[in-house]
Amino acid sequence: MEGFPITIELLSRFRTSKQQEEILQKLKRGEVDLIIGTHRLISKDVKFRDLGLVIIDEEQRFGVAQKEKLKKLCNNVDVLTLSATPIPRTLNMAMSGIRDMSVIEEAPHDRHPVQTYVLEYDAGVLGEAVRRELRRGGQVYWLHNDVASITRVAASLKQRIPEARIGIGHGKMGEQELSEQWRQLIDHEIDVLVCTTIIETGVDVPNVNTLIIDNADRMGLSQLHQIRGRVGRSNRRAYAYLTFRKNKVLSEIAQKRLSAIREFTEFGSGFKIAMRDLEIRGAGSILGGEQHGHMEAVGYDMYLKLLSDAIAAEKGEAPQTDEECVVDLQVEAHIPESYIESLSGRLEMYRRIADIRSEEDAMDVTDELIDRYGDAPKSVGGLIQVALLRNQAGKMGFSEIKQQNGSLYFYSKTLNMEWIGEISDLFKGRVLVGAGEKPYVSLKLQPGDEILGVLKKMLFAEKKTEN
């Protein structure tokens, strides 16, 4: 902002009490145009004369109580929140239409994705990783998130790699001491910084391109992604080693977290990681204090449906009224284990297929299956077609379609006579109508009929009549 009549101030614990008092007085009088600060900005003694815009960087670092304070501070004020890995509740609010969201997907120039390894702790492998980085003139973060034993870890590392200059950084150090450690790191007077998660945000040292994390299974998914982002900040290839204790049996959730962080390494993967975090932990409570959880209470799909109906009502729009249709056909429609071996992979794909709403969705899922697992067998194609036809049947008001006694039966509360006339022309002499307590339309099947083809021809006949 140099050269412009804009006054900028900084508010954090690195400013003296006298400096902070002066800044707060200027802020109150409106003499400061732009204030940059830590959580200190939401303290009770901070008063603004005319606040117009609030930008919250690293939104995932704020707890519920702090966000409530920000809401009061930002009443009728524009708010922009930034995060590579938004917490589940925030992401869910953005995806369900309560908040607007945009995604930056273009990678910085000349950057490479971080090569990520998940492994049991092996002193030999990790020692060689450190030496390799030192040989190319780089530096290393060794993350050990336990202040009580961090000095012992640093001493052990010094014994194994005597040529390395080792420093220590953690949140319990004094301001001057910590500042000196950062100065030495930036000036390359330190080769390996043994540190806690204090490096998670706001750290940019382009020469540090190897990261080693002890007990990575104890950390959250978003946290691991944020920490991994501390390396690879130049045009050099960076490496991240996520370790866990030898012979330790990982919990199912820890396995999912480490699997996700290893899977998503490309640029822009923070959004995908946040989505996986949402799936693993749940969406949280919009009105309450829980930032994740509650998925088991009503199920995520039902939760989103109820939420979208409520949002539509507030906007004055009619809620989505597509009927659920039960389809019972004698066709192969499943994902065989021989095609997708992983149970979690099969469940994920079943969910993706159940969400199919259009021909475009069906093509996208088919392309994804081919890319990830190869050509899909006939039973998987049948499952995709059934999902598409089931959705179309629901839109047309059918509650059930079943194959019985050599016929297809379509059950609905009301009968669409225009549609019945159309299919009667298509299948002459084979259509019957029942108008009892449970109205239905039936089609007599003939030898050689391909069930899904016949069903598609019938359900999409309505579109021809509309044209």
Range of the domain at 140: 115-267
CB 389 within 8 A of CB 459: yes
pLDDT score recorded for residue 186: 94
Here the tokens at position 266 are: 């490309």
pLDDT tens track of the chain, all 467 residues? 888 999 999 988 778 889 999 999 999 999 999 999 988 888 888 888 888 888 888 777 777 677 667 767 767 788 888 877 776 666 766 666 667 778 777 767 777 888 888 889 999 999 999 999 999 999 999 999 999 999 999 999 999 999 999 999 998 888 889 889 999 999 999 999 999 999 987 788 999 999 999 998 888 777 888 888 889 888 888 999 999 888 777 776 777 778 777 766 665 566 666 666 666 555 555 444 444 554 444 445 556 667 677 777 877 776 665 567 888 888 888 888 888 888 777 877 887 888 888 888 888 889 888 888 888 888 898 889 888 888 888 888 888 888 888 888 888 888 788 888 888 888 888 888 887 778 888 888 888 888 888 888 888 775 444 44
Amino acid type, 15: R
Name 161's Cβ contacts closer than 8 Å, sequence gap at least 6. Answer: 127, 130, 131, 134, 192
CB 339 within 8 A of CB 376: yes
Cα separation of 323 and 326, whole Å? 10
pLDDT score recorded for residue 155: 95
CB 68 within 8 A of CB 43: no
Q: Which of 267, 299, 314 is the last residue of a domain?
A: 267
Number of domains in the chain: 2
Looking at the structure, tell me whether residues 263 and 331 fall in a common domain. no
Amino acid type, 444: K
Looking at the structure, tell me whether residues 134 and 202 fall in a common domain. yes
- Tell me how far apart the terminal alpha carbons of the chain are, to the nearest angstrom: 59
Number of residues in the chain: 467
The CATH number for 164's domain is 3.40.50.300
Q: Please give the full DSSP string across 225-277, using - where no structure is assigned.
A: HHHHTTS--SSS--EEEEEE-TT----HHHHHHHHHHHH--STTHHHHHHHHH
Instruction: Please check whether residue 64 lies inside any domain of the structure.
Output: no
**CB < 8 Å & 24+ apart, contacts of 72-77:** 73/42, 73/48, 77/51, 77/52, 77/53
Strand order in the sheet with 431-434: 326-328, 398-404, 407-412, 440-444, 431-434
Distances, alpha carbon 266 to alpha carbons 115, 185, 210, 263, in Å:
9, 27, 17, 9
Supply the DSSP symbol for 16. -
Looking at the structure, tell me whether residues 236 and 331 fall in a common domain. no
Cα separation of 20 and 11, whole Å? 7
Instruction: Please check whether residue 9 lies inside any domain of the structure.
Output: no
Q: Which of 247, 267, 287 is the last residue of a domain?
A: 267
Looking at the structure, tell me whether residues 261 and 387 fall in a common domain. no
Supply the DSSP symbol for 159. H
Instruction: Please check whether residue 447 lies inside any domain of the structure.
Output: yes
Read off the pLDDT of residues 187-197 as tens digits, 9 standing for 90 and up. Answer: 999 999 999 99
Instruction: Please check whether residue 454 lies inside any domain of the structure.
Output: yes
Q: Which residues partner with 197 through β-bridges?
A: none
Cα separation of 447 and 431, whole Å? 16
Looking at the structure, tell me whether residues 260 and 370 fall in a common domain. no
Looking at the structure, tell me whether residues 153 and 245 fall in a common domain. yes
Looking at the structure, tell me whether residues 130 and 259 fall in a common domain. yes
> To the nearest 5 percent, what fractions of the chain are helix, strand and coil?
45, 15, 40
Supply the DSSP symbol for 30. T
The CATH number for 444's domain is 3.90.1150.50
Looking at the structure, tell me whether residues 355 and 253 fall in a common domain. no
Looking at the structure, tell me whether residues 330 and 247 fall in a common domain. no
Instruction: Please check whether residue 299 lies inside any domain of the structure.
Output: no
pTM: 0.54
Q: Which of 245, 267, 289 is the last residue of a domain?
A: 267
Here the tokens at position 212 are: 């080693």
Q: Which residues partner with 34 through β-bridges?
A: 8
Looking at the structure, tell me whether residues 244 and 339 fall in a common domain. no
pLDDT score recorded for residue 437: 77
Supply the DSSP symbol for 7. -
Instruction: Please check whether residue 411 lies inside any domain of the structure.
Output: yes
pLDDT score recorded for residue 75: 73
Name 69's Cβ contacts closer than 8 Å, sequence gap at least 6. Answer: 42
Looking at the structure, tell me whether residues 244 and 335 fall in a common domain. no
Looking at the structure, tell me whether residues 347 and 237 fall in a common domain. no
- The separation between CA 331 and the C-alpha centre of its own chain, rounded to angstroms, equals 35
Going by their DSSP bridges, the two strands 166-169 and 192-195 should be labelled as: parallel
Instruction: Please check whether residue 352 lies inside any domain of the structure.
Output: yes
